[in-house]
A and B are shown apart, each in its own frame.
Chain A
Amino acid sequence: MNIKWTHERSLLLSRVLTWAMFLLACAVLFLIPMITEWYDAVSGKPPVRTVLTVCLYISDIFAILAIWELNILLRNISKQELFTEKNTRCVRIISWCCFGVAAVCAALTFWRLLALMIAIVAAFVGLILRVVKNMLAAATEMREENDYTI
């Protein structure tokens, strides 16, 4: 079977994966008490259930917000609206969500050192997205200038 991979199909796959991730993040919101209970049981370290629960709730809310903005971004791309202020705003929000998760994980480092790794990765992704946002803002300005050249 030979399926031709097109731009539309790639976009559809991204949107399906984004929705799947959104549903997963929403499901995690209800499963956090169970996850933290299980973690304390298997970690073999002093219990950190309350701290972990708070951190996971805050991080999951950031994740849901980021995925929601990602969905808006993909919807705009499918409408051929690429270099717009709306898209720049979406990338900026996602970037700040990453920095938010990084801050939460950095705080969790006081109890679990492993959280530092997640904090660094989240901050790095946030930084990359910030650069992408700056690039998108410059591209939007260039497109506007081009559109308004008579």
Chain B
Amino acid sequence: MPIIVNLDVMMAKRKISAGELAERIDITPANLSILKNNKAKAVRFSTLEAICRELDCQPGDILEFSKDEQ
């Protein structure tokens, strides 16, 4: 997948654990793990909005496009 999710980098910057973020954005830790490990096939705008709100960042800070991954 050419889209890379840099959620773990942003989480480390904000010093927030996976469990806490999952609780704050109201998704299961298992789903957050899928997202963090680049296994997700799509992200809902509502999820992206909640992540950006809680981590105080922009979607571009979390998502990255890489040509090499194609």
| B40 at the binding interface (Cβ < 8 Å) | yes
| A30 at the binding interface (Cβ < 8 Å) | no
| A149 at the binding interface (Cβ < 8 Å) | yes
Q: Which residues of B contact A (CB under 8 A)?
A: 27, 31-32, 34-35, 39-44, 47
Interface of A is mostly: mixed
In the bound complex, residues from chain A placing their C-beta under 8 Å from that of B35 are 150
Contact A149 B44 (CB under 8 A): yes
Q: Please, could you name 23 A-B residue pairs with CB atoms under 8 Å apart, sorted by A?
A: A144-B41, A145-B41, A145-B42, A148-B34, A148-B39, A148-B40, A148-B41, A148-B42, A149-B40, A149-B41, A149-B42, A149-B43, A149-B44, A150-B27, A150-B31, A150-B32, A150-B34, A150-B35, A150-B40, A150-B42, A150-B43, A150-B44, A150-B47
